[in-house]
Amino acid sequence: MRLKITALVIVAFFTQCNRPSNEIKQWRGNNRDGKFQETNLLKEWPENGPELLWSTEELSMGNSSISIAHNSIYLTGTKDTLDEVIALDLNGNIIWRTSYGRTWNQSFPEARCTPTIDEDRLYVTSGLGDIACINALTGDIIWKVNAAEKYEAHLELWGIAESPLVIDDKVILTPVGEKSTMVAFDKLTGDEKWVCETIHDSTAYVSPILIEYPDKKLIVNITASNIIGVNADNGKLEWSHSYYDINTPVWHPNAPIINCVTPVYNNNQLYVTSGYNHVGAMFKLSSDGSSIEHLWTDTILDTHHGGVVEVDGYIYGSNWLNNREGNWCCINWETGKKMYEAEWETKGSIIYADGMLYCYDEMKGNLALVEANPNEFKIISSFKIPLGTGPHWMHPVINDGILYIRHGKALMAYNISKT
């Protein structure tokens, strides 16, 4: 369904579509930190929300976020027993759709992988652990590997949710199991480049980050029980630190193996968190990234799967009270000290742009525009997402003054630019 708003909205829509795209090429922005390098955005919305430029409800079910390149929008969904990539133009019209891998076949099977774009190729994983390289312009599959079987991955409760990481000539996947912890594939051919030794753990639902040093590139990811650092050039396991053993959670002894949040790195420090009353934890890396030291833990910001952002020395996100409830929190980056814990709807995903937080309630689909202020959770504007079904688990994306929200089979584009 296409929503026709007003002549002014239509004019604004075509103005936005004709602007050159900045391109968002991977999960949670180009630095994987939930921070979008946008300016001149609205600091307050109308009562019913910003202008809706277009919407579509023609997607397949999924909870993935989106990537943007080649004047196209890319996301994944689940159709029957397969995960598929869908490409749309900047008007929301479907260009192509390609099934590429087996979907997760137990609870919450909907696709979660956000495509990673590299030049004219995109990389995706499926719920049962297939990784594929697809032509971003045509939708043709270039190569595909059944990685979970090949490397005997130990899949936990919800399979694979990782968005691949591209580094130089390699694409990275973390099929933790008996034959590997992490694998690098040749990004052009799918041939194996290196295999990181096994730590005899299981997979989590986390997408890795890249930390660059003068003479080394370090990949950091979280498995079911550990935080790991892997040399991107040769696959050497630089270090592994038990996240499971940092604190025994109150809720359930298996809680520490349900890790869903991408780590946040800043100034040689690394913050990790997970829900279910497990702790958040800050670590310090050595000057060359070859070792890691635990600095502090916090019991406030146990984020379920909505991500966190670091802004000006503070960490913002929502915590887990139970599977349906959570509060919005801020803690100090250096110490873990609680700045606030505020009630608003329930937990959800969070991103940052142009001095503001965007908080997306996962139960009812309310979206709030919040000041990035460590002293209070101050909502400036909010509105309810009108379309789609299922939980609101997508992480929002902002590109060229447009806010994109996905809910199940629906994708909506809102004009949040001042001009």
pLDDT tens column, 203-257: 999 999 999 999 999 999 999 999 999 999 999 999 999 998 886 555 565 566 7
Query: What CATH number is attached to the domain comprising 50?
Result: 2.130.10.10
Kindly report which listed range (12-16, 36-40, 111-115, 359-363) carries the lowest average pLDDT score: 12-16
pLDDT tops 70 at residue 14: no
Would you state the torsion angle of the CA atoms of residues 393, 140, 24, 147, taken in this order, to the nearest 10 degrees? 60
Q: What is the pLDDT of residue 257?
A: 74
pLDDT tops 50 at residue 7: no
How far, in whole angstroms, is CA 402 from its chain's centroid? 18
Average pLDDT, the chain: 93
Q: What is the pLDDT of residue 95?
A: 98
Q: What is the pLDDT of residue 2?
A: 39
Range of the domain at 353: 7-415
Task: Give domain status of residue 2, yes or no.
Answer: no
Kindly report which listed range (69-73, 81-85, 252-256, 278-282) carries the lowest average pLDDT score: 252-256
pLDDT tops 70 at residue 113: yes
Average of per-residue pLDDT across 334-349 = 98
87 and 139 in contact (C-beta within 8 Å)? yes
Contacts of 390 (CB under 8 A, 6+ apart): 61, 63, 110, 407, 408
pLDDT tops 70 at residue 190: yes
Band (pLDDT 50/70/90 cuts) for residue 390 is: very high
pLDDT tops 80 at residue 284: yes
Q: What is the pLDDT of residue 256?
A: 62
Q: Tell me the percentage of the chain whose pLDDT exceeds 70.
A: 93
Q: What is the pLDDT of residue 19?
A: 44
Task: Give domain status of residue 1, yes or no.
Answer: no
Tell me how many domains the chain contains. Answer: 1
pLDDT tops 70 at residue 31: yes
Q: What is the pLDDT of residue 248?
A: 58
Task: Give domain status of residue 40, yes or no.
Answer: yes
Of 217, 121, 237, the residue nearest 174 (C-alpha) = 237
pLDDT tops 90 at residue 320: yes
Task: Give domain status of residue 37, yes or no.
Answer: yes
Q: What is the pLDDT of residue 249?
A: 54
Task: Give domain status of residue 100, yes or no.
Answer: yes
Task: Give domain status of residue 54, yes or no.
Answer: yes
Distance CA 171, CA 188 (A): 9
Q: Tell me the percentage of the chain whose pLDDT exceeds 90.
A: 89
Q: What is the pLDDT of residue 245?
A: 87
How far, CA to CA in Å, does 177 sit from each of 126, 127, 253, 258? Answer: 17, 16, 21, 16
Tell me the pLDDT tens digit for each residue of 152-170: 999 988 999 999 999 999 9
pTM: 0.93
pLDDT tops 60 at residue 12: no
Task: Give domain status of residue 154, yes or no.
Answer: yes
Q: What is the pLDDT of residue 170?
A: 98
Average of per-residue pLDDT across 321-346 = 97
Task: Give domain status of residue 175, yes or no.
Answer: yes
Distance CA 212, CA 214 (A): 7
Average of per-residue pLDDT across 30-41 = 97
